[in-house]
Amino acid sequence: MLEEQLRGMEEYNTAILNEQMLREVQDLEQKLKAYTNEPVILIAYTHR
């Protein structure tokens, strides 16, 4: 039971962190696009 709760919390926290990282990457992408007309490609790596 406790193990299931911990796994659920870990999955929830991972999802929250991934969403936060995605927002930060999108924000960075917008800032970079403001400086250049060249295509911008950002690669984000998530580790679990």
Full DSSP string of 15-34: HHHHHHHHHHHHHHHHHHHH
The torsion angles phi and psi of 38, rounded to 5 degrees, stand at -70, 150
Residue 29: inside a domain: no
* Number of structural domains found in the chain: 1
Q: Domain limits at 5? A: 1-24+35-48
pLDDT category, 36, cuts 50, 70, 90?
A: confident
Q: How much is the pTM?
A: 0.59
- The answer to the question of residue 3 being in a domain is yes
Q: What is the mean pLDDT of residues 26-39?
A: 84
